[in-house]
Structure 1
Amino acid sequence: MSEVRQNIISTFCRRPSVGTLGRQIRVRSNFFEVLALPTQNIIHYDVTITPDVPPALNRKLFEEFETIHREEKLNGIRSVFDGRKNIFAPQNFPFGDAATFEVTLPENEIVFIKRTPKIFKFKIKKTGEIYMDELHRFLQGRNSMTPNCLTVIMALDVLIRHLPSMQHVTVGRSFFTKAGAQPLFGGAEVWQGYYQSARPAQEKMLINVDLSATAFYESGPLVQIVTKILGRRTPDDLRRGITDKELIRAEKTLKNLKIRVIHRGEATSKRNFKIVKLTPTPASQTRFDAGDGTTIDVASYFAKTYGRRLSYPFLPCAIVQKNVYLPLEVCEVIEGQRHIRKLNEKQTADMIKFTCQSPHMRANKIKQGVDILSYRKNDYLKQFGLEVTNDMIVIQARVLPVPTLQYHPSSREHTFQPRDGSWNLKDKKVAQGAVLGSWSILAFGSERDLPTQSIQAFIRELVITCQENGMSVPNRTPPIMHTNPQGDIEGTLKTSWLYAGNAAKAQPQLIICILPNTGVPLYAEIKRVTDTVIGVASQCVQSRHMMQAKKQYCANLCLKINVKLGGMNSFINPSQIPFITDRPTILMGADISHPSPGDPSRPSIAALCASMDARASRYSAAIRVQTSRTEIIADLANMVKELLKTFYQTCGRKPDRILFYRDGVSEGQFAQVLDGEISAVRAACMSLEQTYKPTITFVVVQKRHHTRFFPLDKRDSDRTGNCLPGTVIESGITHPYEFDFYLQSHAGLQGTSRPTHYHVLFDENAFTSDALQVLSYNLCYLFARCTRAVSLVPPVYYAHIVCRRARFHAKDHWSDTESDSEGDQGAASTFAVVKPELQKVMYFM
């Protein structure tokens, strides 16, 4: 790539003039203005602590180091530490450019680290000065984001987090407090956390403060925790002993948990341990060598040595090191240990309840967090000269006009403007109805559980609803078949497919599967077989919904079935999306889904979805499996080529313009993704024709951020207290000079809505702020499977769904739970490809 070309790509798009469309309003946002930045340069030191230990322990050591040396060796200077390698100070340390110190570890910490010496070495070395004036120039848009600016922002981050991380449990960028903790099912509890991050904005720095929540193990008697893990009310409920299955469950949850023992009196009660495993036998039957050639069981030993008769001799013991067995009742779980294991369904539901807070409640809790942080009283901030306001920032916003939606001209209400981001299908017919002629029903359950009569009643309601909403259903009585959900799923789906074809004397179009539960395994196998083996659209229905057969539910099914068969549900008045309708234009949305952190052997999946018509209502998808956790889409060029060919076959024209929305990229990866992926899109175009060079706009779409908006005036909020759909913000909290904006395009259902952050990295289509904001907002009304405006543009939303679906295309290789196996290194080869006949329709809906 030439030097000039490199330069265009690595400096991202500058913001065109600010948008003016829509009604002006004011909103609060969870950012707090930095009133004063350090005036002096910040000194950066590198620290090496040996031996190597986790950040939480490093912080304890640093605290000890400061306490001992602050006055004498450090001259009273308060420096801040990131828990790993970096120390930042407001002035030079008196000991010169380098020094080595020794720090003694507090006694009660020693047990958690194997073979840890009590004395640690601190090697501190000056790495340089960080210049503040460079940051000021960047905030004013006078120079680019330099490595020096990045280091200043990192130093400010460390500075605001230093004191909370010393005083509270810290996870990532959040600190957590036990105050107001709520129990989760099974011995866990959820703690309230506060996230903070230093963010650059136009001509100022801001501190972003938000709520977070994470699960911790409950502290207190280990017996109580085990009782809760096993879903019992009291330890007495376990008198009959616990089964092997329960033992495995408890052991899996407790492994590596830190405990303290309480049977040795006050003086030695600080003795701490980690649970390695549980004994397979109860305390009364767990024997060990007494040291005199005889063996003794744990219960008798405790009675003899400590005069303590065990209350629960029928429970197992915790093994904390070789041949050290502790009865559960003499152990206490130490507070503040994060619950890293995957939460079960009940725990997840409790967690959602805790985190789901109305905008008003969330704003108040953030205010409480700022009070806990108390920036004004923080001695570290004072020494650096950093001042932060206690009030949330108030910024200008606009509410964009609502687009006009269009359904089939024969509908009673065929053009209309939705209100509050949602509408229904009453009096409307889909823009282009598909014909459903050859289909069958497969019920996973016995005739007794899923009576044929109930299924027929449901089919009648579904057929009537589909016809009312503009689909054509010539075959109203599809064949019904019952099967065992534990049986040969692939075989029965093939039989059901044959039934459909034979009954209608035509190529089968759809299999409706009635499922007995919401479990993933059956659903996953159905999708694997129908998508990759048979090549037929499938629609899953939960039996409880089938039994009720409500009109609204059937209408939602109709929307999904129609697009799966190649129909179109609705479109926007062409005059409101001129960028797409004036000239042949393709919208593309890309996403990568990575396996869970506990499963490094599974691959990542990349999906690309692209619009296939001038109404941006029909989409086609391409999928690739690639090396785990790589951020760049490896085979993007071929994926783009595939979809450009499909566009040409569908429309008879090559697109003149490409608008590419890319999900799943963090700020640090912008340059890398842009360089790699723009080149791939260009290469795909040129491989089709050497002179083919459509204009490209590349926009990163982010949902994983901590920005929230709170309307100032009740008139500017919806019924949940959130901002109205179409609220756009592009000043006050956005980048100092690059082209980015926040758009809240959906109506809130519950809790506080999260806006979507759009960041334009590259633009050859000369978008104005208004044009891109309105286009992105209007597209959110075209998500095919619901009658609501959604929170992010459909091409990306579809790519996200396709990634999730593709996980099911691996035979025996998907999982909705934590993996305990080492995994299959050749995982990629087990993923099957979607059948060609489905690739051109929206089978994934």
Structure 2
Amino acid sequence: MSGRGKGRGRGRVDTLENDDDENLTSALTSLSKLSVVENVPTGLGRGRGRGRSNDHSEDDASQKQKSSSSSSSGRRSSSRGRGMVPRLIARRPMTTTEQYEDVLDDDKLSSLGGRHESALSVPDAEKRSSSDDHAKLIDDMNPALVDSLQRESEQNKQPKNITMKLESRPGIGSCAQEKFQVASNFYKARGTPKDAYLYTIECELLSVRAGRTHPILNYEEAMEFFELVAQQLSASVSPTVSNDSYTSTFTASTVSTLSSTTNPVSKQPMYFDGSHLFYTIRNFPDIEMEIERSHRPENCRYRNVHVSITKVKDLKLFLMANSKEQMDQQILHFFETVLKSSLYRKNYTRVNSSFFLLSRTQPVDCFIPAKNFYEGFHITMKHIHAGLAIQPKEKIGVFHKPKHLLEFLEEFFQQDIRDNTKFWQNEFLRRQAAEAVKGLKVKLDTGNTSSNGKEKVIKDISAESASNLTFTLPDGDVINVADHFATANRRKLTYPYLPCVLTRKYKKEDPTTGDKIEFFEYFPIEMCFVVDKQPVKGTLDPDVISKLIRIAAKPAPQTFNAIRENMHQARHELQEQFDNLGVEVAENMIKTEARIMPTPTIEYGNTSINNVMNGTWSPQRFVRPQNITNWGCCIVTRRPHRDAENIVSRAIDTLYQSARQLGIELSYPAYDSMPNVVNPNQLQEYLEFCEKENFELVLVVLDSKNSEEYSKTKFIAERLSGGILTQCVLMNTLKKINNQSAQMILMKINAKLGGLNAQVDLKLFQAGNGGALFSHGFPVMIQGLETNVMAGQDSILGLASSFDPSATSYTMQTEITSNPNIITNMIDLQMQALKTYYKITGEKPKAIIFFRTAVNEHQMHQTLGFEYRAIKSACSLLQQDYEPKITYIMATKNHATRLVATDKRFQIGKSQNVPAGTVVDTAIVDRSRFDFYLQSSQGIQGTSIPTKYTVCQDENRLSADSVQGLCYYLCHGYVRCNRTVSRPNCLMYAKLATDRARAYMKAAGNYIHNYRQKSVQAHMPDILNVKRQFVEDFEPTDRKKTTDENRLYKTMFFT
């Protein structure tokens, strides 16, 4: 039923979240537009020192001239103590990378080298340490170089498309405590594949219309449409036809005939990717055709469709599949398209790259109301050292339950909503209901009407009931929805007092006035049935995800049994396609040799641990314990527990006992009244009191994880104040505290106070240039770059850089970036990290080991080309002849590879995972790259995911054993636990840095919201004034406030 809406109930229901308040990245991005100081990379300028906005292009010419001088002075005024706190930038000014982009060209760098002074060797008169033997850093670069490079890069502010070849494998590692065999989830593909041909298919149905983000047809509709095209294409073209173009027209009768007489899938297989490419093993000419469709989706205004098919490329599969070089991505795309399109035709439900056979499997018991979850598999094609291989992986998918929409909502809310009129009168509950069903596809049961049996997508739930929601008939009469169905359809509604679902909203021109009139299409809830096979879209609640992981977690052998069963079924379904291509898939998984790496020596204050068992050890007396004599404690809650203070007091007693074991002298809180119960609204006042009392630490007890109070605590303590160290802990943790959990809390506290818990002996790896890494006189800086990506928002990057010989203590920098795959501000970040290292140690690192979270395989060359050269350029810009040896490594757990030991002796623990320290660098690795898999931690729950490392560049000329051992050793000594972690510590700290920046932004967004409310009361002209007032009052990202005057300097406060 559709018509012109009247009264309430028209339009879409707003989401529960207020986008203005919750879109915190956007909020701070707008915030930074208010004031930009050129080349102050950690955030906004302060007070009257703020520069002009870069928002208006007409100001660019004058701004560039002013920025040159302001940047120099800005850098001088904030040079002290840089780099120790998160660099939180929303909308940054022109970066050093952009200014000096042509420096990335090595030839230009060398030609300009004589025009700048050595920043790492010129003393800074303003900042001298007690040791005058070391030359000090200066923050100002040669103005002539700055001006020259600015002019040269003026025409090109975007990253250059620089690519570099990845490092080749120097050999296979041999170092091992023990060797054993593992099975991996790869199935080798053998045979002599036939040649294939790549075509593009172009038509309006598969294109994205202006102003839209998706094609007219979704994946299922596109696959159905292509079947029609394939039938007509097979019937129209002779196998011996020439490659000249061909034109044909088809009608509905032709379609009917073809459907009954041909089977193109088996006779002439074609494989469509669901977008605009398809492959076939038959060579067709280019074709233009007209297709008359027998039916069309509602959002499609086309009936007769023009289709253009053009050949793009011949694929020589035999030559490419057996090449030892890196395989063309087009070949892998061909095989993946064959797999996925063939499985889809076999009634598998596809969700992205995963497949679920819902018709033959039973759902797993699910605790989520109105949801089922099924076990399926993800499948892809890989080119590994052993050749082409299919890689399946077990997958869990959550689907909406197919049932009557009323039953669906009742299960969702766990209550009766049919006869509960108060439920629908509650606006908050109605919005919840609308959010729960938004995007659901429902099938209509409208009786004897044209809409009966049709499928619609729900956009909203009306605010009014069917008996109150009215629309205008063509004759001008006004009627409500309930009466319309009772009279026109002769069907009286059972629940006329329930609302309706909105399924369509469109505009139509009034023939008399020419005005655009808005129309809405509503149907009563009782006429809707939820269609099956609908996956839950979007991100699930973190608690739900955690529960799903626990339910789905299986020991490694069980996981591999499930993979074998899925692959056996898939091979049966795909056998016909394999035969057509001339490919045979092995029945068994690939097996290969694995090695257990030796463990490092972990040094404590009074002893050393030489043999780490299963990735865990007991902490000893700290190397450098920090005493805590003046500290406070508070319980932040809105609902105080009657026994809360006693619980915290008992926990403090346990902390006191554990501290003595670790060498820490811990006093009791400064006041007998502590712990204090503090309302969140009074938190800022309380922390200001703690700052005045010069507390070394404040223990903050919270009710729940990821709470607003957590981000608020960190924002106030580390941004709004002069720097207060806080340790947040959950009340539930303190309720069941023991010596082990108390020691973990103290490990974090000691690191935050600038202490040193333990250090790992890294002096094992011999570099090719003759010096031993990490030895005396050969300083090394370890760096980790992590990106935190949120859908629909800018990403946050975090860079953690070591500043001590044992690579135990790290600084952090954070920044908002629009491109997590290429960090365009890398020169700025690297220069800051090098300056900080020099200020703290008095030395320049002779080697840099740089770890980065990996990007997609086809982007590796470009990412490496830009970032690696940026690191080199940063070193040269600081000092002309400064050339540390750089090793650039990408690390990721975002892959499908799993390992299981074939010998039960090496199936460790309850989850029966491979031992900690297991490395694999044969058979399942890449043919041409220097990569390997390392399982550095002992998996506790489910099947462990090994980390995949790819050595992209290695100027230190490390052997395979050295790189693998270094990566494993760097997974020890994490300050938050006495276990090995799954990735090197530098990446773990970089992840903590991005999390802390996200917490700052969340808290800052709440402050902006409060100021927005004040602006309404004060009648301020616009939101910019509100944000300007916010900056002047709180200065959340001011560099000087958070370094020179902040007590967090030289501490790992972000842990």
CA deviation map 1:750-793 (0-9, x unaligned):
11100000000000111111111111112212111101111011
> 1:814 offset after TM fit, Å?
6.0
> 1:660 offset after TM fit, Å?
0.6
**Any conservation in 2 of the 1:711–1:717 contact (CA below 8 Å)?**
yes
d(CA) in 1 for partners of 2:1048 and 2:593? 46
> 1:638 offset after TM fit, Å?
2.3
Q: Which position in structure 2 is the counterpart of 1:587? A: 782
Q: Which position in structure 1 is the counterpart of 2:653? A: 460
Q: Which position in structure 2 is the counterpart of 1:635? A: 825
d(CA) in 2 for partners of 1:580 and 1:238? 72
The two structures have a TM-score, normalised by structure 1, of 0.89
> 1:671 offset after TM fit, Å?
1.4
Unaligned segments of structure 2, at least 5 residues: 1-104, 110-159, 208-215, 240-266, 505-518, 766-771, 1007-1011, 1013-1022
**Any conservation in 2 of the 1:623–1:639 contact (CA below 8 Å)?**
no
d(CA) in 2 for partners of 1:237 and 1:731? 64
d(CA) in 2 for partners of 1:833 and 1:781? 34
1:362 aligns with 2:559: yes
Q: Which position in structure 1 is the counterpart of 2:148? A: none
Counterpart residue identity of residue 734, structure 2: M
Residues 105-120 of structure 1 correspond to what in structure 2 (within 5 A)? 105=293, 107=295, 110-111=297-298, 113=299, 115-120=300-305
Structure 1 residues 306 and 354, CA gap change in structure 2 (3 angstroms): farther
CA deviation map 1:685-712 (0-9, x unaligned):
2222211111010000011101000110
Q: Which position in structure 1 is the counterpart of 2:944? A: 753
d(CA) in 1 for partners of 2:405 and 2:813? 51
Q: Which position in structure 2 is the counterpart of 1:221? A: 404
CA deviation map 1:391-431 (0-9, x unaligned):
2111111111222322111x6xx434221111233xx2122
> 1:211 offset after TM fit, Å?
1.9
- Count of residue pairs the alignment pairs up: 808
Structure 1 residues 711 and 605, CA gap change in structure 2 (3 angstroms): same
1:159 counterpart (338, 361, 364): 338
> 1:844 offset after TM fit, Å?
1.1
1:537 counterpart (719, 725, 728): 725
Q: Which position in structure 2 is the counterpart of 1:84? A: 275
Q: Which has the higher contact order (CA 8 A, sep 6+)?
A: 2
d(CA) in 2 for partners of 1:697 and 1:18? 18
**Any conservation in 2 of the 1:698–1:761 contact (CA below 8 Å)?**
yes
1:58 aligns with 2:222: yes
Residues 518-533 of structure 1 correspond to what in structure 2 (within 5 A)? 518-533=705-720
**Any conservation in 2 of the 1:442–1:513 contact (CA below 8 Å)?**
yes
Structure 1 residues 547 and 303, CA gap change in structure 2 (3 angstroms): same
- Secondary structure of residue in 2 paired with 1:59: helix
Structure 1 residues 266 and 348, CA gap change in structure 2 (3 angstroms): farther
1:431 counterpart (608, 618, 623): 623
Q: Which position in structure 1 is the counterpart of 2:415? A: 232
**Any conservation in 2 of the 1:590–1:661 contact (CA below 8 Å)?**
yes
Residues 301-380 of structure 1 correspond to what in structure 2 (within 5 A)? 301-306=484-489, 308-321=491-504, 322-345=519-542, 347-374=544-571, 377-380=574-577
CA deviation map 1:70-120 (0-9, x unaligned):
344375421211111211111302xx2x1123344463x523x2x432333
- Secondary structure of residue in 2 paired with 1:557: helix
Bigger-Rg structure (1/2) = 2
CA deviation map 1:521-574 (0-9, x unaligned):
111111112222221221101122223432222111001001011111112245
**Any conservation in 2 of the 1:463–1:476 contact (CA below 8 Å)?**
no
Q: Which position in structure 1 is the counterpart of 2:457? A: 274
d(CA) in 2 for partners of 1:457 and 1:477? 16
Structure 1 residues 814 and 164, CA gap change in structure 2 (3 angstroms): farther
Q: Which position in structure 2 is the counterpart of 1:622? A: 813
Counterpart residue identity of residue 709, structure 1: L
> 1:305 offset after TM fit, Å?
4.9
> 1:215 offset after TM fit, Å?
2.8
d(CA) in 2 for partners of 1:339 and 1:607? 31
Q: Which position in structure 1 is the counterpart of 2:389? A: 206
Structure 1 residues 234 and 320, CA gap change in structure 2 (3 angstroms): closer
> 1:748 offset after TM fit, Å?
0.8
Structure 1 residues 202 and 240, CA gap change in structure 2 (3 angstroms): closer
Counterpart residue identity of residue 467, structure 1: R
Structure 1 residues 476 and 264, CA gap change in structure 2 (3 angstroms): closer
Structure 1 residues 354 and 125, CA gap change in structure 2 (3 angstroms): farther
**Any conservation in 2 of the 1:658–1:694 contact (CA below 8 Å)?**
yes
Q: Which position in structure 1 is the counterpart of 2:481? A: 298
Cα RMSD after superposing both structures: 3.0
1:492 aligns with 2:675: no
Q: Which position in structure 2 is the counterpart of 1:840? A: 1050
1:735 counterpart (900, 923, 926): 926
Structure 1 residues 644 and 240, CA gap change in structure 2 (3 angstroms): closer
- Secondary structure of residue in 1 paired with 2:186: strand
d(CA) in 2 for partners of 1:343 and 1:743? 30
d(CA) in 1 for partners of 2:981 and 2:421? 49
> 1:481 offset after TM fit, Å?
5.7
- Secondary structure of residue in 2 paired with 1:220: coil
> 1:302 offset after TM fit, Å?
3.8
Q: Which position in structure 2 is the counterpart of 1:505? A: none
Q: Which position in structure 2 is the counterpart of 1:687? A: 877
**Any conservation in 2 of the 1:253–1:341 contact (CA below 8 Å)?**
no
Answer with 287-296 or 1-10: which moved more: 1-10
Structure 1 residues 79 and 324, CA gap change in structure 2 (3 angstroms): closer
Counterpart residue identity of residue 363, structure 1: F
- Secondary structure of residue in 2 paired with 1:129: strand
Structure 1 residues 91 and 447, CA gap change in structure 2 (3 angstroms): closer
CA deviation map 1:617-641 (0-9, x unaligned):
1111122223x23422222222222
d(CA) in 2 for partners of 1:266 and 1:280? 25
Structure 1 residues 801 and 303, CA gap change in structure 2 (3 angstroms): same
Q: Which position in structure 2 is the counterpart of 1:611? A: 802
- Secondary structure of residue in 1 paired with 2:589: strand
1:767 aligns with 2:963: no
Unaligned segments of structure 1, at least 5 residues: 502-507, 816-820
d(CA) in 1 for partners of 2:192 and 2:488? 62
Q: Which position in structure 2 is the counterpart of 1:818? A: none
Structure 1 residues 831 and 604, CA gap change in structure 2 (3 angstroms): farther
Answer with 338-347 or 77-86: which moved more: 338-347
Counterpart residue identity of residue 270, structure 1: G
d(CA) in 1 for partners of 2:459 and 2:163? 52
> 1:25 offset after TM fit, Å?
0.9
> 1:213 offset after TM fit, Å?
2.6
Structure 1 residues 536 and 323, CA gap change in structure 2 (3 angstroms): closer
